[in-house]
């Protein structure tokens, strides 16, 4: 889903906003929602690893409210504005609400469940692979926080440095998650 969000992110940049403003908004909000919703599936995956009796109903109970919360965040009045060249600018209110929501709904539960996952394995090789998986998850969460800060804080030096870090983190987080857990499941 992060990849779908990033592809839509590039697509909305290609739209000539003056002629198709509605499509621009639709593509931007879709890409933003995809990027915000993606971490919940990692959380569900960790739950599946911890409990093999994970039902579809419980999966729905976790994913649906989180997705609705991600949508509602985008409806904060004045939360997201766009500059003359159609780059998003987040308000301080949006920044705070988004950080609190993501931290409470995803980051804290993911940390707690990740610790449980790490302690469930006794084999050294499995513990090493879980560590790789957890580092990959940490990179994804860092990217999520970074995107919110990127669109809130309009400092060109930070934006330049973060843009370089994104390239590194996107590749390495996927590889760490894949080689950590997913490769041999």
Task: Give the three-state DSSP class for 74.
Answer: coil
| Conformation bin of residue 78: beta by default, left when phi > 0, alpha when psi is -120 to 50 | left
pLDDT of the residue at 108: 93
pLDDT of the residue at 16: 52
Bridging pattern class, strands 88-90 and 80-82 = antiparallel
Exposure string over 112-142, b if 16+ CB within 10 A, otherwise e: ebbeebeeeeeeeeeeebbebbbebbbbbbe
With a pLDDT cut of 70, the percent of the chain lying above it is 85
Mean pLDDT of the chain: 82
Q: Are 30 and 8 in contact (CB under 8 A)?
A: yes
Nearest to 145 by CA among 181, 117, 110: 110
What is the pTM assigned to this prediction? Answer: 0.80
Residue ranges per structural domain of the chain: 2-184
pLDDT-derived band at 73, boundaries 50, 70, 90:
very high
What would the pLDDT profile of 102-160 be if each residue is shown by its tens digit?
Answer: 999 999 998 888 888 888 888 888 888 888 888 988 888 888 898 889 889 888 898 88
What would the pLDDT profile of 15-32 be if each residue is shown by its tens digit?
Answer: 554 556 777 777 788 888
């Amino acid at each position: 889903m992060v990849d779908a969000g990033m592809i839509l992110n590039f697509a909305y940049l290609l739209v000539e906003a003056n002629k198709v403003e509605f499509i621009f908004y639709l593509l931007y909000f879709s890409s933003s929602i995809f990027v915000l919703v993606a971490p919940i599936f990692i959380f569900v995956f960790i739950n599946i690893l911890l409990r093999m009796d994970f039902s579809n109903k419980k999966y729905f109970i976790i994913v649906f409210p989180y997705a609705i919360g991600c949508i509602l965040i985008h409806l904060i009045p004045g939360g997201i504005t766009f500059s003359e060249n159609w780059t998003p600018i987040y308000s301080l209110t949006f920044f705070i609400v988004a950080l609190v929501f993501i931290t409470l709904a995803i980051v804290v539960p993911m940390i707690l469940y990740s610790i449980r996952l790490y302690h469930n394995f006794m084999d050294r090789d499995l513990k090493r692979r879980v560590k790789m998986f957890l580092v990959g998850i940490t990179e994804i969460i860092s990217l999520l926080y970074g995107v919110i800060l990127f669109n809130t804080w309009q400092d060109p030096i930070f934006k330049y440095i973060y843009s370089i870090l994104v390239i590194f983190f996107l590749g390495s987080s996927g590889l760490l998650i894949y080689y950590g857990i997913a490769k041999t499941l």
